[in-house]
Each structure stands twice: as structure tokens, then as C-alpha cells.
């Protein structure tokens, strides 16, 4: 159940715009958080688990992922609540971020030293706890210190730096001579290099963004909008986590008649498609975020992106030939990028109380961790025989439900710049 505090009846004057330097350094730090987990969980961990338990690698990886997601969900909310207590201090939530960074780097050592199935599961749970000690206050920090009229831009920047995860994976696997210790060392170095400029340059917190005084009716509309965007993000994240995980398997089933490459080159073609889309998403997310600030409304972008997601999935389901399926995927991926960037910005400005933003951001973060628990079993049930049509239609239905929820929001304009 979602719980938010009553809005404050009085607050300080509106917060002035943050500098572009602050926004870029924060986005770089957020990118460091992405680097902290993407190459480890998608590249290093599967290889290590296969070496530890070659006969049970799928079961062990699933168990490790499941328990890690549970730890991440609990710790994110708990740390958010704890950091709420110190948000009024001179450095705000920064000490929590710094502590999380130190412990995350230490957890890489635990992963490397793990030599049994039990120890690797415990090491990943420890890593998830440390990672969320870093990410929970970092996500709440932007809700605290970036005014609403800039949240679209920072949301776009945060969406753009998710490409750091894929790029760091390329660096980590660049040479076959890099062993596990070297790979983890590179990850730790990249994370530190991305996080430290923000922690060193932005040592003190800025003014806390207030919540405007709301009438009971306006407060009810705000809660309704927040619940709707939370559910919509959960539905989109379920669709995204399934499709991105099973993208190669899906394209193995489409009709590739007339193409010059055969099945042996399919994985490279899919990788090229996904990589090209990733490059496109960077300017798209930033532009959408900035434009939503300019027009002072997030709803049109959320509705439009949900429509893109729905239509892209329908094309992939109903036209299983390479060209339309690839085009459908491009539309889907672009829609997801815009949606996630703007949904995060909109949710942050809808939070009901400055005193509980850490806790509330932790609740919002459940939309990132719950899909990891739901998606694998859903995909197995719907596409176990290699036919993805029913699964894609179900995902399109989830996206359509998200679209309906977003259309029903009674939007309130974003405050103008000060």
C-alpha cells in the first residue's frame, strides 16, 4: 500500500534554478550508480555463477537475483526513511551517499572472494544493500534540491546516463585477458570517478524544495496522480524488463526471408539494433525532459510515450517480420526512454511532504525491483514454447492500461522558473 504524508500548510519561498554544472555533476553521479550494478549483474555475475555451479547455473542465478531484489527493495525504503532524519543538516543526504559508495566498493571484494553457491548469494545480497545505501539518498537528493521547473531536464539527464551501463560493460569485457578481479577493479574505478566530482564539488546541500500549500481537494488530486503514475510505471517496467531480457529470443522467431545475413549473424544484428537505439535515446530523453519544463506539463509526454510503447509492442506481435518488428522495437524503446525520464520527474514533484521524500522515493523505487520478481515467471508461462505473440499482446495490454491510467490524471501545471 502506498502511504504519503499530509502536505505542509506553509513553506519557504520557491527555490531558484540550479546551475547547469550542478545538474551535470548530479547526472554523472547517477550514471556512476548505473555503472555500479549493470556490468556486475549482467556480465560478471553470470560468468562467476556458471563457474561455481555449471549444472545449476540458471537456478542459482535466479535465486541470487530474487534475494538481491528483495534486499534492494527493503534497504531502499529503510535508508530513505533514515536519511530523511538528516536532510536538514548542512550536507543533506550526501554523507549517506558517500557511505554507500564506500560499502559498494567493498562489496565487490566479497563477490570476488566468494567460492561457493552460498557465499555468492550472500555477497550479492550485501552488494544490493550497499548499492541501495548509495542510490536511495541520491535519488531523494534531486527531489530535495532541484526545483520542479527543472525536474524534466534532470529526469532527461538521468535517463540519458543509463547508457553508461552498456558502455561500462564494453570496457569491462574489452580484453579477454581481464580476469574477474580486474573487471571488478575497473567497475569500482569507473563508479568512483563518476561519483566523486559531485560529492567533492557539491559538498553542501542547496535549499530544500517546498511543497505548495494545498486544499484538501488539490491534495486528493495529487495523491490520485501519484498512485496512477506509480502503477503505470510498474506496468511499463514489467513490459520493458521482459522484452529487453528476451529480445534475442524473440528475433529468433521472426521471418527473416530476403535478409543477407543468416542465423549465425543474428545476435550481432540484434546487438547492432539495440546499440543504435541506445545512442538515439540519449538526446531524445534530454530533449523530452527539457521540453516538458518549457511547456510546464509532463502529462502529454507521458501519455504520448505510453501510446508509443503500446503501438510498438502491437507491431512486434502482429507483424513478425524483421523490418516491421525492428521498427516496432525502436518505437517501443524510444517510448520507454521518454516515459521513464518524465515519469520520474513527475513523481518527484508530486511527493506530498519534504520531510519524507526519502521514504516516498523508496516506495516509488519498488517499480524497479518488483518487475524483477514478476517478469521471469510471466515470460516463462507465456513464451515457454518459443511463441512470443501471446506474451507481446499481454505486454501491449499492460502498456495500454498504463496509457488509460495516465489519460485519467488531472494535470497541474509545473511552477514557473524563479
The correct answer on CATH 3.40.50.2300 for the domain covering 216-407 is no
Q: Which pLDDT does position 416 carry in this prediction?
A: 60
User: pLDDT confidence of 418, banded at 50, 70, 90?
Assistant: low
Q: Which pLDDT does position 207 carry in this prediction?
A: 81
User: pLDDT confidence of 261, banded at 50, 70, 90?
Assistant: low
109-162: pLDDT as tens digits: 999 999 999 999 999 999 999 999 999 999 999 989 999 889 999 999 998 898
Mean pLDDT of 201-207: 85
Mean pLDDT of 288-306: 93
Q: Which residue has the higher pLDDT, 236 or 345?
A: 236
DSSP state string for 244-291: HHTHHHHHTSSB-TT-S--GGGHHHHHHHHHHHHHHHHHHHHHHHHHH
Q: Which residue has the higher pLDDT, 208 or 302?
A: 302
Mean pLDDT of 190-194: 97
User: pLDDT confidence of 255, banded at 50, 70, 90?
Assistant: confident
Q: Please give the biggest Cα pair distance in the chain.
A: 67
Q: Which pLDDT does position 250 carry in this prediction?
A: 85
Residue indicated by cell numbers 524510444: 334
Give the three-class secondary structure for 237: helix
Q: Which pLDDT does position 351 carry in this prediction?
A: 81
CB atoms within 10 A of CB 387: 12
DSSP state of 356: G
124-138: pLDDT as tens digits: 999 999 999 999 999
What CATH number is given for 20-201 in this structure? 1.20.1250.20
DSSP state string for 293-346: HHHT-SHHHHHHHHHHHHHHHHHHHH--BHHHHHHHHHHHHHHHHHHHHHHHHH
Q: Which pLDDT does position 7 carry in this prediction?
A: 43
How many CA atoms within 13 Å lie on the side-chain side of 131? Answer: 26
Q: Which pLDDT does position 31 carry in this prediction?
A: 95
Q: Which pLDDT does position 210 carry in this prediction?
A: 78
Average pLDDT along the chain: 86
Q: Which of 26-30, 251-255, 344-348 has the highest mean pLDDT?
A: 26-30
Mean pLDDT of 386-404: 91
Q: At what angle do helices 57-84 and 117-145 cross, to 10 degrees?
A: 40
Does residue 222 carry a pLDDT above 60? Answer: yes
Does residue 324 carry a pLDDT above 60? Answer: yes
Q: Could you give the C-alpha distances from 268 to 142, 251, 259, 262, 328, in angstroms and in order?
A: 38, 12, 14, 11, 19
Mean pLDDT of 347-374: 84
Do the domains 20-201 and 216-407 sit in the same CATH topology, yes or no? yes
62-120: pLDDT as tens digits: 889 889 989 999 999 999 999 998 888 888 899 999 999 999 999 999 999 999 999 99
Among 175-179, 316-320, 332-336, 412-416, name the one with the lowest average pLDDT: 412-416
Among 108-122, 267-281, 346-360, name the one with the lowest average pLDDT: 267-281
The distance of Cα 245 from the centroid of its chain, to the nearest Å, equals 15
Closest by CA to 133, choosing from 163, 102, 158, is 102
Q: Which pLDDT does position 13 carry in this prediction?
A: 56
Among 33-37, 210-214, 226-230, 328-332, name the one with the lowest average pLDDT: 210-214
Residue indicated by cell numbers 531480457: 245
Domain ranges of the chain: 20-201, 216-407
Q: Which pLDDT does position 74 carry in this prediction?
A: 94
Q: Which pLDDT does position 80 carry in this prediction?
A: 93
d(CA 132, CA 84): 15
Amino acid at each position: 500500500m502506498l502511504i504519503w504524508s499530509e502536505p505542509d500548510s506553509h513553506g519557504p519561498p520557491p527555490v531558484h534554478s540550479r546551475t547547469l554544472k550542478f545538474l551535470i555533476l548530479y547526472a554523472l553521479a547517477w550514471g556512476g550508480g548505473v555503472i555500479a550494478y549493470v556490468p556486475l549483474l549482467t556480465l560478471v555475475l553470470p560468468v562467476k555463477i556458471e563457474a561455481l555451479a555449471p549444472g545449476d547455473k540458471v537456478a542459482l542465478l535466479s535465486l541470487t537475483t530474487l534475494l538481491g531484489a528483495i534486499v534492494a527493495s527493503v534497504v531502499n525504503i529503510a535508508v530513505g526513511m533514515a536519511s530523511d532524519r538528516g536532510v536538514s543538516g548542512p550536507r543533506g543526504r550526501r554523507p549517506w551517499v558517500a557511505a554507500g559508495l564506500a560499502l559498494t566498493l567493498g562489496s565487490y571484494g566479497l563477490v570476488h572472494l566468494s567460492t561457493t553457491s552460498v557465499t555468492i548469494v550472500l555477497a550479492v545480497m550485501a552488494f544490493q544493500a550497499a548499492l541501495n545505501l548509495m542510490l536511495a539518498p541520491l535519488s531523494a537528493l534531486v527531489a530535495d534540491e532541484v526545483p520542479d521547473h527543472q525536474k524534466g531536464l534532470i529526469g532527461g539527464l538521468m535517463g540519458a546516463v543509463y547508457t553508461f551501463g552498456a558502455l561500462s560493460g564494453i570496457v569491462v569485457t574489452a580484453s579477454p585477458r581481464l580476469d574477474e578481479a580486474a573487471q571488478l577493479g575497473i567497475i569500482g574505478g569507473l563508479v568512483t570517478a563518476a561519483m566523486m566530482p559531485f560529492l567533492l564539488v557539491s559538498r553542501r546541500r542547496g535549499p530544500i524544495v517546498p511543497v505548495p500549500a494545498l486544499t484538501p481537494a488539490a491534495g486528493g488530486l495529487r495523491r490520485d496522480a501519484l498512485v496512477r503514475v506509480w502503477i503505470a510505471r510498474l506496468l511499463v517496467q514489467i513490459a520493458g524488463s521482459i522484452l529487453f531480457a528476451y529480445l534475442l529470443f524473440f528475433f529468433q522467431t521472426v521471418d527473416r526471408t530476403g535478409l543477407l545475413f543468416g542465423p549465425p549473424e543474428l545476435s550481432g544484428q540484434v546487438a547492432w539494433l539495440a546499440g543504435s537505439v541506445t545512442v538515439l535515446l540519449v538526446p531524445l530523453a534530454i530533449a523530452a525532459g527539457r521540453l516538458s519544463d518549457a511547456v510546464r506539463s509532463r502529462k502529454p509526454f507521458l501519455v504520448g510515450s505510453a501510446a508509443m510503447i503500446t503501438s510498438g509492442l502491437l507491431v512486434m506481435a502482429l507483424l513478425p517480420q524483421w523490418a516491421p518488428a525492428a521498427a516496432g522495437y525502436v518505437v517501443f524503446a524510444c517510448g520507454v526512454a521518454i516515459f521513464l525520464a518524465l515519469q520520474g520527474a513527475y513523481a518527484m514533484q508530486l511527493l506530498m511532504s519534504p520531510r519524507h521524500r526519502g521514504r516516498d522515493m523508496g516506495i516509488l523505487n519498488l517499480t524497479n525491483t518488483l518487475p524483477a520478481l514478476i517478469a521471469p515467471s510471466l515470460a516463462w508461462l507465456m513464451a515457454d514454447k518459443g511463441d512470443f505473440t501471446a506474451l507481446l499482446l499481454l505486454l501491449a495490454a499492460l502498456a495500454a492500461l498504463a496509457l488509460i491510467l495516465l489519460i485519467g490524471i488531472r494535470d497541474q501545471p509545473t511552477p514557473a522558473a524563479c
